Every structure is written in structure tokens, then in C-alpha cells.
């Protein structure tokens, strides 16, 4: 009974914001501007990443492990778009009125999408390492193994997003609450930020190893080959695409993870709350950038995008045409397809006259 009295599961989030001295107040014009602009960005995130997934499904040239994992990365960005929409309309004064469960859902969606993106990038890095070390465009992973990897990525991501709600929080220990996430304990923020930064470092090491190997291998092959070296450079194109995606991810998320680490370390002079809005903007920007990188670095992907948009446009025009043809004609309308009047109709008309 004493343990229940010391916990605060029935309190609103305003209680925890006051406990952490965390100000999440937005003036109304700023909040409306953020919601309008953010909604436009989120619409682009949802549509563009859905097109990446559709491109991989419809184009048989993309039926390889690398592109399946790329589509899974797009799925994590798609989830991030949903999480940002939910966050935007549950922030400011609204966030103080949220229940503990509602706040866990809000933060859990963000954490799951980030974990899924990070885990996907790590798996893609390992897939690229295996393929490049064998000097192949694509690895020999079977569809079954790729499916198991995708399931494993989402299982780990969902678990990581659910950890705070499973007990690693400060609801029963208010002195350990953080500012950026008022019901998350500082120890969890330290674990979360350090683990993600370590994964960043591991991926940078993997791609550095891949880059040096490819550069050395290309230097050895160049004197002995002529036109065939262009065919061998195909793996390099895929590596460059992933390296740009990884670089954008690291640039957009590292500042936020560092600020989370400072908040976890209880840095009272860092004023982490002022940076919260800009860090969220960087996170949204990352999900906007990824589909642009795919289409810019991969000509086949861009061509597939254009074909999909053309099909959607043709389907819309066809649907409009069908609706127009199905619309009943009024008595005053005349069409080119009308049949000439029969002799009986003419005689009846003459009788009436």
C-alpha cells in the first residue's frame, strides 16, 4: 500500500511538468504555424515513403535484400511521420492535460520509429559489408532470412519504445525525473542516448572499412580492366546512397542524443528545453530527406517514382471520365452517340403536329 501511495500513475502530465520545472508552453500563433508547416512536411513524409515501398514492391529490379531493407527503412520513416503528427497535436498546453498512458504512447511512437530507423541502417550496413567483401552488387541473403531480419528489427524497436512504460520511469521516484521527458528517468535517457551514439560509431566504422576496401580493390582492378570496371562500380553506387542516408541520419539525430545525454546527466546550466523545438525540426527534416536521397542517388528509383505518379494520374483521369460517362443526360442535352429517330417516331411526331 505504501508503494502505491508513493507512485503517481493517476496524475496528469501537468503534475510531472511542474515537478521537473519543464516549460512546454507555446503561444498560439507559433503553435498554429508549427502545426500547419509540420502537417505539410508530414504529408510529404507519408506520401514519399509510401511511394518508396510501392516502388520496391512493383519493380522486379528491386527484389533484392538491399532494397527490401531500404523499403523497411522507408516504413520506419512512415511511422515517424505518424508519430510527428500525433506529437504536433498533443504538445504545448495540451501536453499538460495528457494522461500518463497518453504520454507513453506519444513518446513510444517516436522511440519505436527512431529505433527502427537505426536498426535498419545497422542491418543495411552489415548487408553492404557482406556483399562488398564478396565483390557483389547484392548479398546472397534469402528472402526468408531478410524477412526474419525485418521482423527482428521491429521486435527490438517495439521493445525499446515500450521500456519506459514497462517500469524504467520516474513515476515512483520523482527526484529522478528528467526535463525533456518528465516521466522518464535520467538513467534511461543516459542509456538511450549512449546506446544510440555507440551504434552510430559502429556504423561509421563499418562504412569506413567498406570505403577503404573498395578504394583499394578499385585501384588494383583499374590497370587490368577497361569497360568492365563500370560494371564493377555498381556496388559503389549503392554504398554511396546508404552513406548519404547514414550521414543525414547522424547529422540530424546526434545533436538531439547529445542533449538527451546532458539532460540525463542533470546538466542544470545547459537549458535543454530551449533546444527542444529545433531538435524536433531536425528529426522531421531527416525523414523528409531520405526519399529525396533515394530518388536523387538512384536513377532506377526515380524512374519508378515517375511511372507510379503517371499511373496515379492516368487512373484519376480515367475515373473522372468514367464518372462523366455514367452521369445521366438531361432532356436538353444532345450527344454524338444518339441514334437517329425511327420511322414510327417520325410518324408519331407528324401526327402530333
pLDDT tens digits in sequence order for the chain, 353 residues long: 344 447 888 888 889 988 887 766 677 787 788 888 888 989 999 999 999 999 999 998 888 888 999 999 999 999 999 999 998 888 877 888 889 999 999 999 999 999 999 999 999 888 888 888 877 777 778 889 999 999 999 999 999 999 999 989 999 989 889 888 899 999 999 999 999 999 999 998 988 888 888 778 777 766 655 544 444 445 677 777 788 888 888 898 999 899 899 988 988 777 777 777 788 888 888 888 888 887 777 788 888 888 888 888 776 666 666 665 555 544 444 444 444 545 544 444 444 33
Whether the Cβ atoms of residue 283 and residue 256 lie closer than 8 Å to each other: yes
Residue 308 and residue 314: Cα distance in Å, rounded?
10
| Model pTM score | 0.80
- Show the CA angle centred on residue 84, arms to residues 78 and 85, nearest 5°: 95
**What is the distance between the alpha carbons of residues 63 and 51, in angstroms, rounded to a whole number?**
15
The cell for 17 is 511538468
Q: The dihedral of CA 184, 107, 124, 149: what is its sign?
A: positive
Strand partners, 177: 185
Cell numbers at residue 343, please?
Answer: 420511322
The length of the chain in residues reads 353
Neighbours of 176 (CB within 10 A): 15
Q: What is the CA radius of gyration of the chain?
A: 28
Amino acid at each position: 500500500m505504501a508503494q502505491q501511495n508513493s507512485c503517481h500513475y493517476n496524475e496528469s502530465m501537468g503534475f510531472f511538468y511542474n515537478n521537473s520545472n519543464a516549460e512546454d508552453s507555446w503561444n498560439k500563433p507559433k503553435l498554429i504555424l508549427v502545426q500547419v508547416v509540420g502537417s505539410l512536411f508530414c504529408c510529404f513524409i507519408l506520401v514519399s515513403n509510401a511511394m518508396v515501398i510501392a516502388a520496391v514492391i512493383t519493380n522486379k529490379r528491386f527484389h533484392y535484400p538491399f532494397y527490401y531493407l531500404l523499403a523497411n527503412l522507408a516504413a520506419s520513416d512512415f511511422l515517424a511521420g505518424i508519430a510527428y503528427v500525433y506529437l504536433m497535436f498533443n504538445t504545448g498546453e495540451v501536453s499538460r492535460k495528457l494522461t500518463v498512458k497518453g504520454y507513453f504512447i506519444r513518446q513510444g511512437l517516436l522511440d519505436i520509429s527512431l529505433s527502427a530507423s537505426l536498426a535498419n541502417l545497422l542491418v543495411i550496413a552489415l548487408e553492404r559489408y557482406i556483399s562488398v567483401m564478396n565483390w557483389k552488387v547484392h548479398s546472397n541473403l534469402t528472402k526468408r532470412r531478410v524477412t526474419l531480419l525485418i521482423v527482428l528489427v521491429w521486435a527490438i524497436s517495439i521493445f525499446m519504445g515500450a521500456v519506459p512504460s514497462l517500469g524504467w520511469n520516474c513515476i515512483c521516484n520523482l527526484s529522478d525525473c528528467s526535463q525533456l521527458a518528465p516521466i522518464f528517468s535520467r538513467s534511461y535517457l543516459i542509456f538511450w542516448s549512449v546506446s544510440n551514439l555507440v551504434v552510430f560509431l559502429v556504423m561509421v566504422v563499418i562504412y569506413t572499412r567498406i570505403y577503404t576496401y573498395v578504394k583499394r580493390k578499385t585501384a588494383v582492378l583499374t590497370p587490368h580492366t577497361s569497360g568492365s570496371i563500370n560494371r564493377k562500380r555498381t556496388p559503389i553506387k549503392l554504398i554511396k546512397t546508404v552513406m548519404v542516408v547514414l550521414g543525414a541520419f547522424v547529422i540530424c539525430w546526434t545533436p538531439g542524443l547529445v542533449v538527451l545525454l546532458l539532460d540525463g546527466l542533470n546538466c542544470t546550466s545547459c537549458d535543454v528545453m530551449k533546444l527542444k523545438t529545433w531538435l524536433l525540426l531536425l528529426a522531421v527534416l531527416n525523414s523528409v530527406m531520405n526519399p529525396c536521397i533515394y530518388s536523387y542517388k538512384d536513377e532506377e528509383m526515380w524512374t519508378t517514382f515517375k511511372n507510379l505518379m503517371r499511373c496515379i494520374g492516368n487512373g484519376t483521369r480515367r475515373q473522372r471520365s468514367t464518372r462523366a460517362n455514367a452521369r445521366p443526360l438531361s432532356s436538353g442535352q444532345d450527344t454524338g452517340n444518339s441514334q437517329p429517330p425511327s420511322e414510327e417516331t417520325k410518324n408519331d411526331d407528324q401526327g402530333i403536329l
